[in-house]
Structure 1
Amino acid sequence: MYGADPNDPHPMAGFPQICFIRNTVTNPNIIIGDYTYYDDPEDSENFERNVLYHFPFIGDRLIIGKFCALARGVKFIMNGGNHKIDGFSTYPFQIFGNGWDKLALQPSDFPYKGDTVIGNDVWIGYEAVMMPGVHVGDGAIIAAKSVVVNDVPPYTIVGGNPAKCIRQRFTDEVIKTLLSVAWWDWEIEKITRNLEKIVAADLDALLKCE
């Protein structure tokens, strides 16, 4: 046996609140890596309800890497939630028509922050919110109920509203090495053989994995 089946939406028998969401997401602009799970006792398969203002005509993507742990109620605010902010009013008159559509605004008139990208082995806590276009590095941890408005470096713990750095998990040198090792890209057989080293903090042992 080489771990859980990444193609099984509910890899824990009798515990449907855990879902490998790569198997249940249908939006082509939401890309999920293997073994990333969403934990929610209320329909864990419907992760897409947490991706808000994600309109296809805008074209932005939500990209989440492998082996991520997403707690209940996490939210991803996408670029479709933005309003035009360089004028005196931010009210979207044009969407209601009846003469107000004379504004004829174009998508390029609205703020656009690009794709939202979550790295590998990221833990996002209960009801955390990711704002449009943020990039969260590999191995990062987002504290519960945080609002992430800026990029999060790899292996960094952030929390609060707006989320700020609490601490870096390891030294710069160790982080650089971990990113080069990128264990999440190993074959699952190799990961399974070396689980104890992956979850420990002995870098020399990790570097000797075969």
Structure 2
Amino acid sequence: MLKKILINLFPKNFKNENVKINKLAYVTNTNFSGNNYVDRFCRIRNSSFGSYSYIGYNSDINNVQIGNYCSISSDVKIGLNSHPIHLFSTSPIFYSDTNPFGKKINKISYDDSPKITVIKNDVWIGTNVIIMEGISIGNGSIIAAGSVVTKDIGEYEIVGGIPAKIIKKRFDKETIKKLSDSKWWEKDAKELINSQFHL
């Protein structure tokens, strides 16, 4: 019985030598650009990973578009479903046929699929971060551990807290413009190292 359960957790029909998905991760309907890593006990659905992006232990994401060179830590939650607050009840029994009770009795029309969350390039997301659905995270930004992100984050911003607020910019305006204009994240890591790219 245990063997059958574990087999159901394994990623299916995915073959790419440059992508490593732990055997204890659940991945479905997700695309990988290459040189990616998914740690154990992750749950990843309806998403895409850019090159050299990885995600740590026990993270859960749904409907997330991740750019290149992103570092996502452990126990991160991104783009999970929300409940409607304008109806008489927030219980999914009244608006979703995929409710945990398995009952198909709802008569209310409500789209409970999460809005797409966009994480651009070179983003570092710390441990235990929660990012609400439909958020956009700018290139080069950093989200401090334990933060709850409820609003869009701009390029090269460092944010933290509940709700997350800007702490500071990583670089001055001139450096940010230089990095943004270079679009260095579109190049392969080996090419960047050989070119000795720096600020």
What is the TM-score normalised by the length of structure 1? Answer: 0.66
Q: Check if 1:105 corresponds to 2:116.
A: no
Change (3 A) 1:169 1:27: closer
Structure 2 Cα separation of the partners of residues 184 and 97 of structure 1: 44
Structure 2 Cα separation of the partners of residues 74 and 29 of structure 1: 16
| Higher fraction of strand | 2
Measured after TM superposition, the shift of residue 158 of structure 1 is: 0.2
Q: Which position in structure 2 is the counterpart of 1:155? A: 156
* Structure 2: gaps (5+ residues): 1-15, 22-34
Change (3 A) 1:26 1:113: closer
Change (3 A) 1:26 1:88: closer
Structure 2 Cα separation of the partners of residues 23 and 182 of structure 1: 28
Q: Which position in structure 1 is the counterpart of 2:72? A: 70
Structure 2 Cα separation of the partners of residues 187 and 178 of structure 1: 16
Change (3 A) 1:28 1:39: closer
Change (3 A) 1:6 1:169: farther
| Higher fraction of helix | 1
- Equivalent pair of 1:73/1:128 in contact (CA under 8 Å): yes
Measured after TM superposition, the shift of residue 71 of structure 1 is: 1.1
What is the TM-score normalised by the length of structure 2? Answer: 0.70
Structure 1 Cα separation of the partners of residues 157 and 135 of structure 2: 14
Could you report, residue by residue, the CA deviation over 1:6-35 in whole angstroms, capped at 9, with x for unpaired residues?
81528xxxxxxxx92379999672100111
- Equivalent pair of 1:36/1:68 in contact (CA under 8 Å): yes
Which of 21, 30, 49 is 2:37 aligned to? 21
Q: Which position in structure 1 is the counterpart of 2:192? A: 191
Q: Which position in structure 1 is the counterpart of 2:52? A: 35
- Equivalent pair of 1:158/1:166 in contact (CA under 8 Å): yes
Percent of aligned pairs with the same residue?
34
| 1:1-210 equivalence runs, <5 A | 7-9=18-20, 20-21=36-37, 29-40=46-57, 50-51=60-61, 54=62, 61-78=63-80, 81-94=81-94, 95=99, 96=101, 101=105, 103-108=106-111, 114-195=115-196, 197-198=197-198, 202=199
Q: Alignment RMSD, CA only?
A: 3.2
Greater length-normalized contact order (CA 8 Å, ≥ 6 residues apart)? 1
Could you report, residue by residue, the CA deviation over 1:25-76 in whole angstroms, capped at 9, with x for unpaired residues?
9967210011112233xxxxxx6x512xx4xxxxxx3111111111111111
Measured after TM superposition, the shift of residue 187 of structure 1 is: 4.0
Give the paired residue count: 165
